[in-house]
A and B are shown apart, each in its own frame.
Chain A
Amino acid sequence: MPHLEIHDLTVSYEKDKPALARFSLQIEQGELLSLLGPSGCGKTTTLRSVAGFIQADAGKIVINSRDCTNLPPNHRDIGLVFQSYALFPHLTVFHNVAFGLRMRRIPKAEVQSRVSNALKMVGLEAFADRRPAQLSGGQQQRVALARATVIEPQVLLLDEPLSNLDARLRVDMRQEIRRLQQQLGITTLYVTHDQVEAMSISDRVVVMNQGEIEQIGAPESIFAAPETAFVADFMGFDNHVRAAVVSARAEKLTVNWGGAPIELRWRSKFGSPKPGANADVFFRADNASLSAGAEASGLAGRVILHTFHGNEVRYLVETEVGEFSVMQDSAGERFENGAAVTLRPQTQKWIAIIEDEGSKA
């Protein structure tokens, strides 16, 4: 039985332009699920509907088998971490964390011990008497986490919690949130626009676009096998090119790649495409290799730019099919600008997606 259920949720800010349309999702007990997507995709709307700050036009929200659809936020038993942290500026760290317990009329001694515990878990026991303004961004983030979890909510909701931190701190806090979440075994809904963050922290990821689910699954499967062009693009497939379909079989799709046929995994919204239809071919920069000179077995090209990234060098290669970005081990063979190279695909990691309805066989 799922711990958090969202059934057919519909929310519209403007008439006839729903931000969410019949959106459904189930989250298991103790699971961390991320809503991933660009701004305006409906992920924050979903989270705020679960929290109860947005009254849905239709649909149902069930937390731990209790229908919460018509409950105000303060009766839903949720913990919410805001993008801005939303710490109470006039209260000390201790009283910020204690706020939710006070609202629940927990006896003083218990408040004391639970707050101390929560602060210890986030490593802030020495900061109990500080005001939020006296803390760094990362520390404020920890206070927000402690404040949301100390009440032991049914569901923990995090709204872009790391977007105000700098890059290094973001990585640390990511791990810390995951650790805390697993320690407490708390069902968690996590909203982010950062795919790396979503990958690294989640049990499952939901990629959202324009109020709808594009794909849902384990981070690994979404990373390796996007089902739509939107997901492929969002998941960091650096290269995208149109190619003509030669033939389609259940397992492999054969497309024309600069005159030569290559076989790729494929996804289609409409079943088999007809020969000659357009397929969107996606591959990552590190899923192709370069060798010097023109060889018959690959695609001929020319290096037009190279940039050094430590362990790797990224080449921009111009071919008759298009320009591609290719990542090579910096210890291996190096190419100067203008060098003639052959680009060889690692086709087992490439993917072809058919989205154009006209291409249906």
Chain B
Amino acid sequence: MIRRPNQRRTLLLLVAPAFIFVFVFFVLPLIFLLSQSVLPEDGGFTLTGYVDFFQSRVSRIVYLRTLKLGLIVTGISVVMSYPAAFVLARMPARRRSFLMSLVILPLMTNAVARTFAWLIILGRRGMINQTLLSLELVEQPVRFIFTETAIVLGLTQLFLPLMVLPLVSAMENIPDDVLEAARSLGANRLTTFARIVVPLSSDGLVLGATLVFTGSVTAFVTPAILGGSRLLLMSTLLRQKAVILFDQHAAAVVAVVMIATTLAVNLLLRVGRVRQA
């Protein structure tokens, strides 16, 4: 970095326009949202919105369900991505870059299209039910849509790339020499993987887990299509309160709880990573 004295004015000119934009159109709305959650339209400052939220059985169930599904999705993503990411990271560069672009592809397609596929797979007359019926394993079509399983499948498919990408880039940075050194010192494959690869890729794992978890607990499209109003998550609850029940105060509370949750997870994992380092 180059030190340049007398840079104040230049710096201000460079940063100010975007900063003002973000402040006025992003930060202020969030502050307003926060105030809405503690200032109902007909009264002064109160925390009853939050009390109501955590006392209501429905919203408590929804909140815990959201966290639970987020954890499950994150767990499945880790298990599915870890060995695959290792294979990808050890590949010749050309083949890897092709396969990586296939990982990115789903990220670049909208969530509605990707979730829609699960309707075809899991629907009453979908792929799985047709198979089960023709094998005479079941007599009636099984209901998959509007179940937690459906949401978990949809979310995992949606966010898996966010786990694979940071894992691969963390593992790429592990030199072959290090693995050979471990083997030469007497470690078998599994030990090498557990004692060398896992610790050295923990940064990628933490980043991936953060992305997948926060993505899962805030996603809207997948729970809207695969859970509907029967199986609400926080995001669909927010929409229901705001659009169907017109309760902006309660909706603001849900929104703030969502922000607080994602920020807490980000902070927690960041602190964990710093302590590890």
A55 / chain B contacts, CB cutoff of 8 Å: 5-6
Q: Report the minimal beta-carbon distance from A17 to chain B, rounded to whole angstroms.
A: 13
Q: Report the minimal beta-carbon distance from B129 to chain A, rounded to whole angstroms.
A: 57
0/1 string, A1-31, CB within 8 A of B gives 1: 0000000000001000000000000000000
A54 / chain B contacts, CB cutoff of 8 Å: 3, 5
0/1 string, B5-33, CB within 8 A of A gives 1: 11000000000000000000000000000
Q: How far is the CA of A315 from the CA of B194 in the complex (A)?
A: 48
Q: How far is the CA of A13 from the CA of B3 in the complex (A)?
A: 8
Interface residues of B, CB < 8 Å — how many?
A: 5
> Nearest chain-B residue to A13 (Cβ)?
B3
> Nearest chain-A residue to B4 (Cβ)?
A53
Q: Report the minimal beta-carbon distance from A59 to chain B, rounded to whole angstroms.
A: 14
B5 / chain A contacts, CB cutoff of 8 Å: 54-55
Q: Report the minimal beta-carbon distance from B92 to chain A, rounded to whole angstroms.
A: 22
Q: Report the minimal beta-carbon distance from A297 to chain B, rounded to whole angstroms.
A: 55
Q: How far is the CA of A54 from the CA of B6 in the complex (A)?
A: 10
Q: Report the minimal beta-carbon distance from B172 to chain A, rounded to whole angstroms.
A: 22
Q: Report the minimal beta-carbon distance from A186 to chain B, rounded to whole angstroms.
A: 26
**Inter-chain contact count A-B, CB under 8 Å?**
7
A13 / chain B contacts, CB cutoff of 8 Å: 3
Q: Which of A39-88 contact B (CB under 8 A)?
A: 53-55
Which of B2, B4, B5, B6 has the most A CB atoms < 10 Å from its CB?
B5
Q: Report the minimal beta-carbon distance from A20 to chain B, rounded to whole angstroms.
A: 13
Q: Report the minimal beta-carbon distance from A42 to chain B, rounded to whole angstroms.
A: 13
Q: Which of A212-250 contact B (CB under 8 A)?
A: none
B3 / chain A contacts, CB cutoff of 8 Å: 13, 54
Q: How far is the CA of A53 from the CA of B3 in the complex (A)?
A: 9
Q: Report the minimal beta-carbon distance from A160 to chain B, rounded to whole angstroms.
A: 15
Q: How far is the CA of A13 from the CA of B7 in the complex (A)?
A: 13
> Nearest chain-A residue to B3 (Cβ)?
A13
> Nearest chain-A residue to B6 (Cβ)?
A55
Q: Report the minimal beta-carbon distance from B176 to chain A, rounded to whole angstroms.
A: 25
> Nearest chain-B residue to A11 (Cβ)?
B5
Q: How far is the CA of A13 from the CA of B4 in the complex (A)?
A: 9
Q: How far is the CA of A55 from the CA of B3 in the complex (A)?
A: 10
Q: Report the minimal beta-carbon distance from B7 to chain A, rounded to whole angstroms.
A: 10
B2 / chain A contacts, CB cutoff of 8 Å: 53
Q: Report the minimal beta-carbon distance from A304 to chain B, rounded to whole angstroms.
A: 33
Q: Report the minimal beta-carbon distance from A10 to chain B, rounded to whole angstroms.
A: 13
B4 / chain A contacts, CB cutoff of 8 Å: 53
Q: Report the minimal beta-carbon distance from B61 to chain A, rounded to whole angstroms.
A: 57
Q: How far is the CA of A310 from the CA of B4 in the complex (A)?
A: 49
A53 / chain B contacts, CB cutoff of 8 Å: 2, 4
Q: Report the minimal beta-carbon distance from A95 to chain B, rounded to whole angstroms.
A: 24
> Nearest chain-B residue to A54 (Cβ)?
B5
> Nearest chain-A residue to B5 (Cβ)?
A55
Q: How far is the CA of A54 from the CA of B3 in the complex (A)?
A: 8
> Nearest chain-B residue to A56 (Cβ)?
B5
Q: How far is the CA of A53 from the CA of B6 in the complex (A)?
A: 11
Q: Report the minimal beta-carbon distance from B196 to chain A, rounded to whole angstroms.
A: 32
Q: How far is the CA of A55 from the CA of B8 in the complex (A)?
A: 14
0/1 string, A159-182, CB within 8 A of B gives 1: 000000000000000000000000
Q: How far is the CA of A37 from the CA of B59 in the complex (A)?
A: 68
Q: Report the minimal beta-carbon distance from A130 to chain B, rounded to whole angstroms.
A: 24
Q: How far is the CA of A321 from the CA of B12 in the complex (A)?
A: 63
> Nearest chain-A residue to B2 (Cβ)?
A53
Q: How far is the CA of A53 from the CA of B2 in the complex (A)?
A: 9
Q: How far is the CA of A323 from the CA of B75 in the complex (A)?
A: 62
Q: How far is the CA of A65 from the CA of B197 in the complex (A)?
A: 64
Q: How far is the CA of A54 from the CA of B7 in the complex (A)?
A: 12
> Nearest chain-B residue to A12 (Cβ)?
B5
> Nearest chain-B residue to A19 (Cβ)?
B3
Q: How far is the CA of A55 from the CA of B4 in the complex (A)?
A: 8
Q: Report the minimal beta-carbon distance from B11 to chain A, rounded to whole angstroms.
A: 16
Q: How far is the CA of A53 from the CA of B5 in the complex (A)?
A: 9
0/1 string, B58-98, CB within 8 A of A gives 1: 00000000000000000000000000000000000000000
B6 / chain A contacts, CB cutoff of 8 Å: 55
Q: Report the minimal beta-carbon distance from B3 to chain A, rounded to whole angstroms.
A: 6
Q: How far is the CA of A54 from the CA of B2 in the complex (A)?
A: 10
Q: How far is the CA of A193 from the CA of B157 in the complex (A)?
A: 56
Q: How far is the CA of A53 from the CA of B4 in the complex (A)?
A: 7
Q: Report the minimal beta-carbon distance from B18 to chain A, rounded to whole angstroms.
A: 26
Which of B2, B3, B4, B6 has the most A CB atoms < 10 Å from its CB?
B3
Q: How far is the CA of A17 from the CA of B2 in the complex (A)?
A: 18
Q: How far is the CA of A54 from the CA of B5 in the complex (A)?
A: 7
Q: How far is the CA of A55 from the CA of B5 in the complex (A)?
A: 7
Q: How far is the CA of A55 from the CA of B2 in the complex (A)?
A: 13
Q: Report the minimal beta-carbon distance from A53 to chain B, rounded to whole angstroms.
A: 8
Q: Report the minimal beta-carbon distance from A83 to chain B, rounded to whole angstroms.
A: 12
Q: Report the minimal beta-carbon distance from A50 to chain B, rounded to whole angstroms.
A: 16
Q: Report the minimal beta-carbon distance from B6 to chain A, rounded to whole angstroms.
A: 6
Q: Report the minimal beta-carbon distance from A71 to chain B, rounded to whole angstroms.
A: 15
Q: How far is the CA of A152 from the CA of B219 in the complex (A)?
A: 63
Q: Report the minimal beta-carbon distance from B10 to chain A, rounded to whole angstroms.
A: 13
7 A–B contact pairs at CB < 8 A?
Answer: A13-B3, A53-B2, A53-B4, A54-B3, A54-B5, A55-B5, A55-B6
7 interchain residue pairs of minimum CB distance: A55-B5, A55-B6, A13-B3, A54-B5, A54-B3, A53-B2, A53-B4
